Structure 1
Amino acid sequence: MHTPILLQTKIKIPVPRSGGVRRQRLLDRLNRTTDGRLALVCAPAGFGKTTLIGQWAEQSSSKIAWYSLDETDNDLMKFWRYAIHALQAHLPPGFGERMEPLLQAYPNVAMPTILDALLQELEEREEGGLLTLVLDDYHTISAAFIHDSVGYLIDHLPEGVRLVIASRSELPLSTTSKWRVRGKLIDIGSRQLEFTEEETRRFCQDTSGLRLSDERIQLLQKWTEGWAASLQLLVLTLKEHEDPDRFFLQYSGSDRGLIQYLLEEVLGQLPADIRRFLLRTSILSRFDAECCEAVTLGNDSRAMLDRLQRLNLFLVPLDDTQGWYRYHHLFSMFLKTQLLKEDPELAVALHRLAADHLAGRSLLEEALEHSLEAGDIGTAIGLLGAQISSVIERGEWSTLLRWMNRLPTEALPFQIRLLYAFTLIVTGQFESAAEELRRLERFAADAEPGEERQEMRSSLFFAKINLAFSSGDYEQWYSYADRIPDMLPESPLLYRFNYNTNEPFVRRTAFGLRGMQTPETEAIAGRIIGILDSHGWGQSLFTQYIVQSLAEGYYEWDRLGDSRRLLRRIEPIARKHRIAGLLVPNLVAAARLQWAEGSEKEAHRTIEDTIELVRDELREPRWLAPLHAFQAGLHLRAGNTALAETLLSSLKLAAPNKPSLMKNLEYLTYARLLGAKRKEKDALGLLETLNRLNRREGCIVGIVDAEALQALLNAQRGYRSEAFAHLGEALALGEANGYIRAFVDEGEPMRSLLMQFKEQRNREEHRGISEEYLERLIGRFPLKEAPMPSERLIEPLSPKESAVLLEAVRGAANREIADRLHLTEGTVKVYLSRIYGKLGVSSRIQALRRAEELQLFE
């Protein structure tokens, strides 16, 4: 798995400036976050928001995770990847490694599902005490989907976890008003951040040694209105002014505004070398001495940075070692404006220098940003191509679109344009993607015959399959597929693209259509596999994932032979690729098939071998939990409750009322364990939440599994109407998708419940389920004829009566019984009447129940 390169300076707590004024009244206010879940520090630039929160973080007893935001963080995956990285130091080992596959699975996994996994990690943290995530400069975030995700996090924060958000503007989060009304939100605005007269006095003394009279302190207070940035600029101006008294007499305000006036005053008073350094380095969003030397073309940057710190010139250290810095945002904006005013061509040249330097240090994202600012299209395209694979693997689609949208499409190479179309598909912009693919198809058609054109066709084929699966427009893809006459060469990125990073069943993924399966989807999958096989892509990961999804679907349809054939095809290729996202589902499906065919020992051996393979060879420990859960499920089916409980207890699942969809199999198995221990109420509470999460994700297979188990647990505790309601939900989805094994694998309790349900099918709430489907389901349960315990019957059943009753138990209707036993339908009714009498019952459903009680068939 690719390990993302993250800038450590973005998650370091800013180093407080020495000699800064300690504002205890505001620190005390922030300390009240222990009583709430959110603190908002909102004020315009220059009010000291970051300084205040940094001081609070330094003295707080809370564990602090800090994330400094900027405009490049308007990418959902990038945002949460950094937030998770910031939290990592305060959470159990492996937290980041566990979350990364989920981030890479987006958008195939819904964002709330990923956040649920994060919230569960926060819930399960072993260290006590308060944990605070600080989001600084949140005003730079404009993406609505990030606002929604932050709101979701706030609404579901566990006890002991808080957020502190600093922003120049009010947060566009609908949830804040709710928590404000409940008294769980602390507001610190510009009025609270204004320096008091006493704080102004201490600021002048502590930062610059200025001891001013009460009258002049009051004058400063009037001019600045307590605004920290203007106060700092005034103090700098006074300190360097030849005659401070004269300054007070002359200054009475400026039409240009106080800040603009003071900035110009400060810059004008600086030595030429410092002024030059500030202007040339202003184009850098962050910098160290090396970066500064690249744009200043000097060799004294380390000393210059030390001078700036001594002069207190709005330099913000970004790490403990004082290696990286940025300018205060207000000062930075002023310097950039001044540079563009004085020499716009120099600004472009400086961006080029910065891009070259940062690229040489493998800081490719920052290098690309500078090349775009410089308008250097060629360099930007090269930098984009160098990192596009890793950006796609990280799932940072918004970042990719932002870069590509700043480049002229016609200048982009074919493969990058294709990946642009692929990005549009992933982000749901299907019409734009289809239009771009049509343009690329025309481009490929006009290309010279040869290997390059074949590679174009190969890539287009791949992209069009993805568009078809995502948009449902299969007809357009069919028309394109029919025109592919030649072999499709491997595309290094597309051929090996991994579609599963976290699911033990491919059918649960978006690639596996989340459990939807119809004759149409089967035909499409078969067609795609055939074309891929015949055009050289038979060994590709893409093909194997389609085959695996189809194999799992065949198992669900109870076409065990077809499933086995496809699983055997995949296994050697999956072992060769050594991709756990394919190999684990393949081996789990094989074990499931073995169990269904009565080879219980082989199923256990397959899972044990898979666990050993994942642990010792693949070394991907995140797959061990679902494998152990599946293993526990096998033990539960065999009645080994104690062994199953031992396995599940090692997984350290969170409280049952807070399951995560990322651990669906683990929680589903845990619910089965609770049911086996007759703790139905606890199990049903867990399943209700799990079912809701599956519905949110649109995961059909997950909904059917949860509803079916809820039905069984309600039946087990005697709540028949609730059992039928849940069973009806499961059957409705099951019939629409041809599900068989989801019910048959539940064994005899499900068969009995289905038979009871069948008798009640004419009730209003159950009429949507066809009798044919119910009979087909009941007929698939394995039943063995057993000796008749005649001593418990009023009168022994004759062989023919036994045969009739056995067919009825299997769910056959009277007409089917007559056909199978070569009787008339009237004769069947006569036999059933006799059977009722011998069993001491008066109806078919009672007869079936009585036969079950007497264990007439095993």
Structure 2
Amino acid sequence: MQRKRLFRLLDIKCKQPIVWVSGPPGSGKTVLASSYIDAGNLQCLWYQADEGDSDIATFFYYMGLAVKKASPHKRNPMPLLTPEYQMGVPAFTRRYFEELFRRLEPPFIIVLDNYQEVATQSQLHEVMREGLSYVPEGINIVIISRSSVPKELVRLRANEMLSLVKWEDLRLTPEESEGIIHIRRPVPVELMELLHEKASGWVAGLVLMIEAMDTEGLVRQYPGSFSDFSHNEVFGYFAHEVFDNTDPETQDFLLKTSLLSGMTAKMTECLTGLSRSDEILSTLYQENYFILKRPESNNTYQYHPLFREFLLAYAKTIYPPDKLFKLSQKAAALLEEAGEIEEVARLYIKSEDWQGLSRLIMKQAKLLIMHGRNQVLAQWLKSLPEDIFNSTPWLIYWLGASRLPFDPPLSLSCFEQTFKQFSAQEDQMGMFMSCFGAINAILYEQADFKLLDSWISMLEDLFRSDPYFPSPEVKARAISSMFISLLLRQPCHPDIEEWAERVLTVSRCLQDANLRILSEIDVSLYYQWTGRFAAAEEVIAPLRNLARQSQTTSLAFTTLKAFEAMNYSLKGMHESCLAAVSEGLKVAQSTGVNTMLCQILTHGASSSLGAGDLDRARQFLEKIALMNESPQRMNMSYYKYLLAWEALLHNDLINAHEHITIALDLVVKIGFPFMEAMIRYGMAQVLFGRGEHQEAAENLAMTWRIGRGMKSHMIEFMC
């Protein structure tokens, strides 16, 4: 039954871009939105939220799939919130929603259903506030929730962008109750009034009472009035009455299929074994038996959340545990085939099918990380019993990989554990993967490069065994990991030149432009630090062309610009350096990919100091200071080095000495020879200015020894 009164209300409310529809479960929120869209023949993107959307990367992933379905003519997929965006979520959000709105042709409605499933503390509320701060004309956002507007979105209401349809609006009028009753069953007028009064405007309650009426047309008495009990309690009471009025075959169908969050006729037949499944499903839908067609899919059904909750609880009392477990396994297999991966994991966790969950994790882990859904993977892994988790090295590995961008020490601990277990199993590829992960964890943390020494030794042993690599990409990753470890920690290693050549050889055979840039750019760094600037440019130039010709990621582009800026800065080409810095900053700030932001700013500051432009250098340094509330040790070391340089140019030897002392202490703790050489050279300058010539000479000698050992013509020339 169309509720024209509410349609007129929605017409008014939609004059503001966002409409928040709130009311208790079963109050007709979802039906109202879907029937309004159908009546107006409006284009629609329907997104059904669940608890998984509390992880914003999951929201962006599934919203991207929904957008693709709503605008199939657009070939490029929506962006994914991969870890490099985590420090710039607001910028990513703005860009994402701008692209989303650009793909939709007005008039258009986006429905976010079941928003109450999103956790109160979820970052998604901030994402919504940022993304919906500007909604183009002709597009409306309808948010359906059992809860009131979260505090993060109150600003939208204050700015007159968000209107409300509340429970008071949704309550059935006597006329609407009469219409529903007439559709379902003829009853006397006095009974109609009683039903309306008892339901208190609640659609689900009214329907349940009609279905629960006995043969004499009398309503079974529920103790007290509806207002004295929660809607869940009332629903449970009458759902039981309605359930008992169905035949045994339908009851069995209902209980078994409640394990499916969404279902097609084929899925229900596979699960129940009933050839009449299609007929039963159609009958239940036609009789409005608390089953809905998903608005985004005409052939997929789902039970009303309250009814499904009742059926699941009842199934536990009817079926023996072993039968329920087997049904859950079968349902999980059907859901996995349908691509409902989160629902599969929830089923496995609820039924404690740890073998099934482990298999799912092993199959989906790589894809989840590629989609930026690290938090989802980590949650699944933490659900496993300790004995199963700790005895399976690949499960430990995937926990390390999922936590790498967020908790490098934990990640490193996981990779140390997996390396030992893979070594005991003589799993060479597992050992290599553990090495890559451990090295990445150390580089993410940037706190102690001395930890690289043991991993360099282990990689050397593995490479001596003439390993087999399953793909050129894995081989490139292995060689690149070895090279960057040597460059940062052991630049005096006798084979470092050979490793540099190996990186270039294997990388230039790759089809992936982004992997090429991220691998080869480290070789340019090696050439820069050793003073071979022409060789560095020979590496950078083709990468620059590659970035222009292909769809490079923001991370690859900003990394390229950071290293390009360093190359120009070291050569004294300050205008070119600032141009590269400007390009890198523009992309970092517009996309939210801030991984290389600090490095780009430091090269801008360094080049400005080198050019004697102290005002511009100060601007860069102030931007770096804003990022250094909880800085990585290496970034802080370089920042203090730049402050010392600035103070020295101002002839402020007291502050210069204070800053350079902190910088040197940090870099020695890190164990980063090249940077130590640069900072000791700065220390020598400061000490010489203070008249401490002996100490200056000692630092200069140590700088020369590092430069000599790594065959750096640049450092030797400086000394």
Q: CA deviation at 1:324?
A: 1.2
Larger-Rg structure: 1
Are residue 440 (structure 1) and residue 418 (structure 2) matched?
yes
Match of 2:429?
455
Flag the 1:88–1:534 CA change in 2: closer, same or farther, 3 A: closer
How far apart are residue 55 of structure 1 and its match? 2.1
Point out the more displaced range, 583-592 or 690-699.
583-592
Q: Kindly tell me: are residues 197 and 556 of structure 1, through their superposed partners in 2, closer, same or farther at Cα, counting changes over 3 Å?
A: farther
Aligned length: 617
Other structure's SS at 2:404 match: helix
Counterpart residue number, 1:247: 219
Q: CA deviation at 1:286?
A: 0.8
Offset at 1:135? 1.1
Which of the residues 424, 448, 451 maps onto 1:474? 448
SS across alignment from 1:486? helix
Deviation at 1:266, TM superposition (A): 0.5
CA distance, structure 1, for counterparts of residue 558 and residue 161 of structure 2? 44
Residues 106 and 323 of structure 1: CA distance in aligned 2, closer, same or farther (over 3 Å): farther
Residues in 2 aligned to 1:126 and 1:161: alpha-carbon distance in whole angstroms: 11
Matches within 5 A, 1:220-619: 220-238=195-213, 241-244=214-217, 246-247=218-219, 257-318=233-294, 322-345=298-321, 346-359=323-336, 366-412=343-389, 413-426=392-405, 428-444=406-422, 447=424, 451-452=426-427, 454-475=428-449, 477-484=451-458, 485-488=460-463, 489=467, 492=470, 496=474, 522-523=488-489, 530=496, 533=499, 539=506, 545-549=518-522, 551=524, 560-564=533-537, 566-567=539-540
C-alpha contact (below 8 Å) 2:111/2:142 kept by paired residues: yes
1:277–1:296 Cα contact (<8 Å) kept: yes
Amino acid at match of 2:330: L
Counterpart of 1:64 in 2: which secondary structure?
A: strand
Structure 2 unaligned blocks of 5 or more: 628-634, 640-645, 660-719
Q: For 1:599-629, what per-residue CA distance to the aligned partner results, in whole angstroms no more than 9, with x for missing partners? A: xxxxxxxxxxxxxxxxxxxxxxxxxxxxxxx
Measure the CA separation in 1 of the matches of 2:345 and 2:497.
Answer: 39
Residue 188 of structure 1: how far off its partner (Å): 2.2
Separation (CA, whole Å) in 1 of partners of 2:41 and 2:522: 50
**Alignment-mate amino acid for residue 423 of structure 1:** S
For the residue of structure 1 that corresponds to 2:302, the secondary structure is strand
CA contact (8 A) 1:551 1:566 kept: yes
- 1:408 Cα deviation from its structure 2 partner: 2.8
Q: Quick one: structure 1 residues 361 and 324, their matched pair in 2 at CA, closer, same or farther if it must change by over 3 Å? A: closer
Matches within 5 A, 1:740-759: none
Per the alignment, residue 22 of structure 1 pairs with 3
C-alpha distance in 1 between matches for 2:10 and 2:220: 36
Please tell me the residue identity of whatever aligns with 1:277: F
Residues 275/587 of structure 1: CA separation in 2 closer, same or farther (3 Å cut) = closer
SS in 2 for 1:103: coil
8 A contact 1:21–1:202 mirrored in 2? no
Give the secondary-structure state (helix, strand or coil) at the position aligned to 2:260. Answer: coil
For residues 43 and 158 of structure 2, what CA distance do their matches in structure 1 show? 27
Runs (5+) with no aligned partner, structure 1: 1-19, 500-510, 512-516, 599-632, 638-662, 670-689, 712-719, 739-756, 771-858
Question: Aligned letter for 2:269?
Answer: E
Distance 1:224 1:315 in 2: 20
Kindly provide the CA deviation profile for residues 726-785 of structure 1, in whole angstroms up to 9, marking residues without a partner as x: 4775899999869xxxxxxxxxxxxxxxxxx99996899x99999xxxxxxxxxxxxxxx
Q: Partners in 2 of 1:702 and 1:162 — Cα distance? A: 40
Give distance in 2, aligned partners of 1:138 and 1:557: 57
Supply the AA of the counterpart residue of 1:324.
Answer: T
The 8 Å contact of residues 293 and 301 in structure 1, kept in 2 or not, is answered as yes
2:87 and 2:595 in contact (8 A); partners too? yes
Are the structure 2 counterparts of residues 556 and 85 from structure 1 closer, same or farther at C-alpha, using a change threshold of 3 Å?
A: farther
TM-score by length of 2: 0.70
Q: For the residues of structure 2 that align with 1:474 and 1:735, how far apart are their CA atoms?
A: 13
Alpha-carbon distance in structure 2 between the residues aligned to 1:463 and 1:522? 16
How far apart in 2 are the matches of 1:286 and 1:310?
A: 17
Contact 1:691 1:706 in 2 (8 A): no
Closer, same or farther: CA 197–381 of 1 in aligned 2, 3 Å? same
Q: Which of 145, 148, 154 is matched with 2:123 structurally?
A: 145
1:192: Cα distance to partner? 2.3
> Does residue 146 of structure 2 align to residue 165 of structure 1?
no
Structure 1 residues 667 and 49, CA, compared in 2 at 3 Å: closer, same or farther? same
1:159 CA drift (Å):
5.3
**Are 2:475 and 2:506, in contact at CA under 8 Å, matched by a contact in 1?**
no
State the match for 2:61 in structure 1: 81
What residue in structure 2 maps to residue 133 of structure 1? 110
Pair 1:528–1:419, CA change in 2 (3 A): farther
1-structure distance, mates of 2:298, 2:43: 22
Equivalent position amino acid for 1:386 in 2: K
Cα distance change of structure 1 residues 425 and 133 upon mapping to structure 2, 3 Å threshold: same
Secondary structure, aligned partner of 1:133: strand
- Whichever residue aligns with residue 231 of structure 1, its letter is L
Q: Please state how far the C-alpha of 1:486 moved relative to its aligned partner.
A: 1.2
Residue 598 of structure 2 corresponds to 700
2:169 matches 1:195: no
Q: Kindly indicate whether structure 1 or structure 2 has the higher relative contact order, using CA contacts under 8 Å at least 6 residues apart.
A: 2
The superposition leaves residues 467-498 of structure 1 with CA deviations (integer Å, 9 ceiling, x where unpaired) of 11222233463243254151254665995499
Which amino acid in structure 1 is aligned with residue 598 of structure 2? I
1:326 is paired with a residue of what secondary structure? strand
SS in 2 for 1:293: helix
Q: Is 1:218 the equivalent of 2:190?
A: no
- Percent identical: 19
Q: CA deviation at 1:149?
A: 1.8
Q: Secondary structure at the match of 1:270?
A: coil
Per-residue deviation, 1:405: 1.7
Q: Provide closer, same or farther for how the CA distance between residues 47 and 461 of structure 1 changes in structure 2, counting only shifts above 3 A.
A: same
Over 3 Å counting, the alpha-carbon distance change for 1:285 and 1:145 in structure 2 is same
Q: What is the SS of the residue equivalent to 2:417?
A: helix
1:21 Cα deviation after fit: 3.7
